[in-house]
Structure 1
Amino acid sequence: MRKILLTIILAIPMMGYCGFIDWITGYPEVKAKIEKRLEQKYHGDKFEVWDVTWSDNLGGYNFKYKPINAEYDYTYKGSYLSKRDILSANNYMTTKVTHQWIDVFQPLVDKVSKNNLIFGSLDPQSPYQWRKMKKDPMDKALHDLYSSNPVDIKKWIAEDHNAIAGSISIFIAMPRTAEGVYKTLKLIEQINNKLRSYSFYSYKLEVITYDVPKGFNIEKYYYEVFPSFKTSHGWWFEEGVQKYAWGYLQIKSCMKISEFEKSCNNYRDRSTGEFDLDLIKKYSTADRIHNLNDIVNNFYIVNDFGKPDKCDPILGCYGRWDTRSRSNILLKNSKYYQQLEKLINNQK
């Protein structure tokens, strides 16, 4: 207690009396400015702001904020540079966009299995040589998004699809049978076609199937363990659910367009400067999928909960769970393929 009092006493001359009062009371004037700027940024939405603190490194204030009477009851962090009147508080918009984006795919996934969890995102992207352009399409996409009221991702995608990257990760309970594989492939085909129809800058589709015990709800379990994650990748390494994983697919798209060059079409070998065709091919696997057999060639059967790529004692794991950390075989080489082939041929 004495140390705390001594720290406060020593801080008073450095801050000045007024600064000390602001510090003690939580910077009420700054708090009011932040609330006003948030309301302007989000077209009249009201916010509660608290835990306002000064940061010497930032040269501004950090704070926490929460929408009042909003559909999504989350707490966010932001920053405010008062001298330049710059507010950085984009996570609320990210939540709005993410929920609308997931809602597009939720009915499709629920038809196959209601025991599922979906992650998704939509993020503006810049062209490969954006510095040579008069205006970066990513800047326009961001402006259009934050100018919309209310936020409508369908309109946003229609206007700015060339500068938007989409991502969907689906974690779904499916029986570990040939019929379960077949249903999964049909779902993947449907979702990939949906993603392709948007003509995005790029997109990624990931699907992991689980053979879970009766009563095990994937989404419910996620929210139980989520508070323990130190990074956003924690879920991919959560043994309590990943030990039930048996099927895995990840495909990416980077369709060429006439408007501009994309970064995902321009990976180059650092030593030669030539195009890295293997890497470019890796980032365009979805573009070569036209039927179920093409999906079969990208689907893996996995076993044995494995170790992640890289883990830190404090930060946790910051590689992605994928087939590299599991023993795996291509679906085409698995015991399910013979019966699966009959199911695929019967649909033709």
Structure 2
Amino acid sequence: MKQVIISLSIATLAISNSVFGQQEKSATLKSAYQNDFFIGTALGLSQIYESDKQESKIVANQFNSIVAENCMKSMFLQPQEGQFFFEDADKFVALGEKNKMFTIGHTLIWHSQLPDWFFIDKNGKDVSPEVLKQRMKNHIHTVVTRYKGKVKGWDVVNEAIMEDGSYRKSKFYEILGEEFIPLAFKYAQEADPKAELYYNDYNEWHLGKIETVVKMVKNMKSRGIRIDGVGMQAHVDMTSPTLAEYEKAIVKYAQAGVKVNITELDLSVLPSPWGTSANVADKVEYDEKMNPYVNGLPKDVEEKWENRYMDFFKLFLKHKDKIRRVTFWGLTDSQSWKNDFPVKGRTDYALFFDRKCEAKPIVEKIIKLAEKK
């Protein structure tokens, strides 16, 4: 009898541990959505170098994908022609390997945060198309080859299309025309044939932008140039875009034959002088009425913010067959770029973890949402 009781106790303990393990596993964002899409976050240098134990714990426990916020942009990787600085990027990639994460490189070709030398010759004039092509190829090949097999996906080109569907008149466009985008993807594919390749942009639900991006995707595919996904930055606010607008964009991109990445998700509760924008060139002077929640969010505002996030995640789950990953642009409210954009010095509450590195109630709600599906 004693042996039976002991056996039953062991069996009961095993079941309890199994149940507890399942509960523990489902109590994180990454485990709750592991069968739907990757859950990621952007990392700054503080998180990359694991300077704060609380932040490091959040990154390791809650996320299974990471993207470099700044250290892989060209102005940091190649500040002078032929002189590469890889220390920060190496550390970032090593962190992803240590935590077995789906690591994303951001970004190879972007008109902003670009070193001055990239477009000019020794006389300060625009370089020829041939020289620019070679510089693009060298930068992309050098960076992508270094992290071949380690970085799983690249934002190859960033923010090249305007809301009306026209091409941004960047130096890339002025010197090479529309062809600079297919060229960048071609070079990236050569450097790492197995890495996923993405086009990434903001205000990605605007009809003109959707039309041009879809056309661009189809054109590259017809030419045998691989593009695996479209990144929708998802810098959203409390009113814009509508869920219908966002859903239409997700469906349109998926119909073009690529996966959708929600790449830079944050939800601002603060008023905007012109509506939602992510153009870092846009700045307006500080205005007190633009910073109404210095001492925290009123309860009713917080509830509306939570409901808005919930609605977006319901939409993501509805279209999980089309979505590869959902990545937040930052870890905690204190580090969010929205505190300084478009009005410097504001206090925003755009992310899932507060200024004390504590999970907001929305985290548990988003986890439960996945468990109910």
What is the TM-score with the length of structure 2 in the denominator? 0.28
Question: Higher strand proportion, which one?
Answer: 1
The one of the two structures with greater contact order (alpha-carbon pairs below 8 A, sep at least 6) is 2
The two structures have a TM-score, normalised by structure 1, of: 0.29
